[in-house]
Amino acid sequence: MNANRIPARPQAPLNLPRTYQEPPVELPKQEVKVHKSQRPINLDCALAKLLQSLENFSAVGTVEIHREVDGRPDVRSLPLTISILGGQIRSEIDLRRVEEGLKLDDQFATMRQIGVNQLVTITLPKVSTYSVLVPAARSYISHNLPLADVPGLIRVASRVAGQETIHGKVYSKFDLEMLYNTDDRVKVEWWAKPENKDQPEFLKFIREGSSIVVRFKTYQMAPPPAASYEVPNDYRKYADMDLLMQAITVAQTPLGKVKPINTEQTFRARFNNDRRGQ
């Protein structure tokens, strides 16, 4: 050890001034509105709920879809027949009886071009399923019915709105609200003749940015027989409507006419071969 070496002086910690920080600026609180997307209306189930007092019946009318496209009103119409028997629901869209001047939705216009003139939907709430049948192709698809659309689980609140005259006819008007177990609400206007309030001449389902109007022309208290609410045994099942429509299109080509499509797998194979050959 070197005696002449002066030991180092311990250094005291530096007492540096603290950096000045301005108090945080409190921004005004803003309310954030979360817009919940609207569930599509299952029209068959909604009509079954609203017309449940009629029990077993069949009605013929039209469905009008009102909305705005590029700031202009746009109306698309479809002929509709709906029947209910013991809680089973059958609806039919017959594109062969589209009235003069009615404008079809693009999807149905495309179907009509490939020869699909009729769609039948069979809804069985008790087993929570619905099937869409294409009689021209003797084919169908089937899916589970969401629990929220089961008519027995939909609640309806109603209020008498009085009487109004439209085109010289007097109607009794009721304001309704359909309450779903998903917290969705759908406002409905019910218009009927005063002497027959249980059979509305038209119903208006009001949604944000659009509305659906169902106009009834005739009612019959004799629905189709029970067999009409079943899928025929000789109908071919497809996984979805796109595959079914593609199968119909392919069947109309020379390839499809040489050898009919027997299974969905056969269609998939042909479709993939066509793509590889392009």
Rounded-to-integer distance, Cα 215 and Cα 62, Å = 5
Summary mean pLDDT of the chain: 81
Q: Which CATH superfamily is domain 43-245 in?
A: Lipoprotein localisation LolA/LolB/LppX (2.50.20.10)
Q: Is the pLDDT of residue 264 over 50?
A: no
For the chain, the domains span 43-245
pLDDT for res 234: 95
Q: Which residues does residue 159 pair with via DSSP β-bridges, in sequence order? A: 175
Q: Which residues does residue 92 pair with via DSSP β-bridges, in sequence order? A: 81, 120
Residue 191: name the closest of 162, 212, 157, 218 by CA. 162
**Helix (H, G, I), strand (E, B), or coil: what is residue 149?**
helix
pLDDT for res 258: 40
Q: Is the pLDDT of residue 21 over 70?
A: no
pLDDT for res 24: 55
Rounded-to-integer distance, Cα 126 and Cα 130, Å = 11
Contacting residues for 243 by C-beta, under 8 A, at least 6 apart: 264, 267, 268
Q: Is the pLDDT of residue 16 over 50?
A: no
- For residue 84, the surrounding DSSP H or E stretch is strand 72-85
Rounded-to-integer distance, Cα 73 and Cα 242, Å = 29
